[in-house]
A and B are shown apart, each in its own frame.
Chain A
Amino acid sequence: MLLLVITLLLSLITGCWDSREIENRATILAIGIDNADSNAEEKEDEINHLNGKIQIPEGRMIELTVQIAIPGRIPLGPQIGGGEKSPVLVVRAVGHTLEDALLNIQQEVATEVFLGHLRLIVLHEELAREGVGRFTDYLRRNPQIRRTASLVISKEKASEYMEIRPELERVPSLYLAEMVDSLIQMGKFPPTFIGMFWSILSSKGQDAYLPYFKIKGKSNIQINGLAYFKGDKMVGKTQPLQIGSFMAGIGAKQGGYGVFIKAPEMEQVVLVRAVKRKTKVKASLKNGKPYILVKVHYESEIEEVDSTHPSHIKKEYLPSFEKEFSREASQSLEKLIAETKESKSDIFGFGEHFRAKLPKYWNKQVKTKERWQDIYENLSCEVEVSTKIRRTGMKAK
């Protein structure tokens, strides 16, 4: 009995199998994925497969650029911008798949690669147009990946985003991730994170969308529009202002974009900004054909009056502004719908409305995502917009 107790106790002193100290982890904060050069195959060493001996996946090779946090250099608490030493290490590798490339990176890094703090994945546009489905499998399978990480599309090569040094924050990838979060909070972009992207990607009646980034100047990054997908392939991008229209289409509450409005009664233009909106989508069948009615209601305020010559807003002008704003908004939304129709990309999720509300029609006529994309191309659609301007700011006139 005593012997038994001793052996049991002995087994305990070996400690925890999974204990890894922070400094023994290569914590990856961000990943950038690009298409590899054509000679990449020669660059890859024989780590996960022997050349020519084992079946390798078809499709172009990818180049992975990762930011690894350097222990001790990540500041805690309030941050003083841009120190001399970079808090991150940038490592690159090529591979046939995501895991293949990550294992190649592991081969170069002494400590174990850890993905639990991954905040951002940047995909190059060129690669996104060829399809992103090939990356989702690994990311879904890996228990370390957070579903709340951000996924963005970049105009430039994704590797450039990994090397950029923003002035506002010491850790570049955190700056980028924070940017996505605050854009969502300010109403500049609808809520998006990788888990949501997956859900939409697998749903039958909606196509996915992602933020589209562009580098401005030396170290600034701009949200330059919305990349929309057909299936897992990116098929187009919108202008930044159209993101506002898109948010109206899907019914995101938070408004953020403003437009110049010119009312006939007034000579100057005024900048009206959407504050809140409410969207109702009605799906119905007209003569057996699907028909969508989108009703959007805006709550807005006037933010600026172009004041090259003196003027003030009269009470009677407001309805006219409202009308103009509604007209602009509905035109812009119609244009966006038309553009996505052309690419057969139902980012608004109108198909989901049919699936949910008209199951009989859906089961008989549609059933698959591909079929819905075809129907969406010729979907008849109407937009109604109403606006209320509630405030005009602190200026009395």
Chain B
Amino acid sequence: MADSKEVTTVQAATILISTIIGVGVLPLPLFAVRAGETGAPFITLLGITIAAFGLFIVTKLGIRYSDKSIITYSEEILGKWLGRFFSLFVIMFFAILTALAAREFGAVVITAVLLETPLEVTVLVMLLLAAISARNTMNTFAYIHNFYIPIILAPVLIIVALSLKNANFLNVRPFLSSNIEDSFFGALTIAALFQGSFIMTLIIPSMKNPKSAMKASWWAIFISGGLYLLLVLATVAIFGVEEIKRLYWPTLELARTTSLPGNVLQRLDVIFISVWVIAVFTTIFATYFLTIHSVKQLFRLQDHKMLAYFMLPFIFILAMVPQNIVQLYDVIKVAGRAGLLVTIIYPAVLFMIDVLKSKRRKKGESKQA
């Protein structure tokens, strides 16, 4: 890669955090409650663990090949053609992920805020923004994420803190309440919300000090996972399990139920929505960036700038495929779980093959000597 290596460890962590926190925060408590009833926080924790495992592998692999991303080192591990074949899947998946995030964003915005605005416009504007920003280099990319992270984290924490006055902690008990199978699939759905962390494979080659990538990964999972867990705890404690099952976006309702003390603002959903728009933007921006850079590396292109606009119509059309909100969430669930094959299983397989290969290589060397 020709990029200068200037991304610091803190920047790497913030990129991960703001990429992970995205559209998913809104339906997150619903997913968790559907799978685990009052055990929702536990399911979330399980999901975070699975996601952490995936990120751990991706980072480990990245450190072993600290100059390359998964697109390039997979060719080395699996052989040229097999590696390219799987890289196509990675690219396709992240194109779909970008499209679905944009679509979910559009769906929320036109149901909750801008009732008259056409869906196409909200989706297109968001994608266009991401495409324009994705033309930048890795450094600018890192700066943009770094800049937005306090704006994303602080308001969410404030809303959770303020809302807790209506909390009833009987609602989160008993802590474990569903069978193993449901818990597992629920945890997979939650883990799927963390898939943006795959961006790590693209960051490592640009890091000043790739060895500290692991530290960045841990911090990122710790902070974003902590925030997710807090959100699930707060929504379940405030609404109760049965009520959450009736809400599409419990986190948004949480903001709607919360008011600033002293009647300054009687509902905080306006603030929350604007913060959430930023969070969604950083996520879509990152997955878009990942998609076009992967394409660039796969086809050995010199420049990614024109590619940003070239991809736009495809992603937009993908985003328009689901017919309605019910279908949209079905697709998100299926795509999310299938995506775990790409973001966790595939790197895990790569990692194992690589370890075996290097062992054999060592053996071969020692025999020769």
A interface with B by C-beta (< 8 Å): 16-18, 140, 143, 146-148, 191, 193, 195-196, 198-200, 202-204, 349, 352-353, 355-357, 359
Contact = CB atoms under 8 A, between A and B. Distances in A.
Contact of B240 (A143, A146, A199, A357): A199
A199 B253 CA distance: 12
A196 B166 contact: yes
Given A17-B114, A357-B173, A359-B174, A147 B257 contact: yes
B267 A199 contact: no
B240 A202 contact: yes
Interface in B143-192: 166, 168, 170-171, 173-174, 177
Contacts of B241: 203
B168 to A, nearest CB: 8
B180 to A, nearest CB: 16
Contacts of A355: 170
A17 B170 contact: no
Contacts of A352: 168, 170-171
Contacts of B333: none
B267 A146 contact: yes
B119 to A, nearest CB: 11
A146 B243 contact: no
A197 to B, nearest CB: 10
Contact of B242 (A146, A191, A204): A204
Interface of B: 38, 111-118, 121, 166, 168, 170-171, 173-174, 177, 238-243, 245-247, 253, 256-257, 259, 266-267
A17 B257 contact: no
Contacts of A143: 111-113, 115
Contacts of B117: 16-18
B246 A148 contact: no
B78 to A, nearest CB: 42
Given A18-B116, A359-B177, 7 more contacts: A17-B114, A18-B115, A148-B266, A195-B256, A199-B243, A203-B240, A203-B242
B324 to A, nearest CB: 15
26 contacts: A16-B117, A17-B118, A18-B113, A18-B115, A18-B116, A140-B247, A143-B112, A143-B113, A143-B115, A146-B267, A147-B253, A148-B256, A148-B266, A199-B238, A199-B239, A199-B240, A199-B242, A199-B243, A203-B240, A203-B243, A353-B170, A356-B38, A356-B170, A356-B173, A357-B173, A359-B174
A148 B259 contact: yes
B227 to A, nearest CB: 22
A268 to B, nearest CB: 40
A195 B242 contact: no
Nearest to B121: A17
A353 B114 CA distance: 41
A333 to B, nearest CB: 19
B169 to A, nearest CB: 9
Contacts of A353: 170
Contacts of B240: 199-200, 202-203
Contacts of B121: 17
Contacts of A195: 239, 253, 256-257
A322 to B, nearest CB: 30
A202 B253 CA distance: 15
A366 to B, nearest CB: 14
Contacts of A199: 238-240, 242-243
Nearest to B165: A191
Contacts of B113: 18, 143
The 10 lowest CB-CB distance pairs between A and B, nearest first, are A356-B173, A202-B242, A359-B174, A17-B116, A17-B117, A147-B257, A356-B170, A199-B243, A202-B243, A143-B112
A147 B238 contact: no
Contacts of B112: 143
A147 B168 CA distance: 17
Contacts of B166: 191, 196
B190 to A, nearest CB: 22
Nearest to B128: A8
B108 to A, nearest CB: 10
A143 B238 CA distance: 19
Contacts of A16: 117
A140 B257 CA distance: 12
A204 B115 CA distance: 34
Nearest to A353: B170
Nearest to B173: A356
A193 B111 CA distance: 23
A91 B238 CA distance: 35
Contacts of B238: 199
B266 A146 contact: yes
B218 to A, nearest CB: 34
Contacts of B38: 356
Contacts of A202: 240, 242-243, 245-246
Output the residue of A18, A193, A204, A357 with the most chain B CB within 10 A: A18
A148 B121 CA distance: 31
B163 to A, nearest CB: 11
Nearest to B238: A199
Contacts of B174: 356-357, 359
Given A147-B257, A148-B257, A148-B267, A18 B114 contact: yes
Contacts of A193: 257
A140 B170 CA distance: 24
Output the residue of B171, B240, B266 with the most chain A CB within 10 A: B240
Contacts of A198: 243
Nearest to B242: A202
A126 B115 CA distance: 35
A17 B242 CA distance: 36
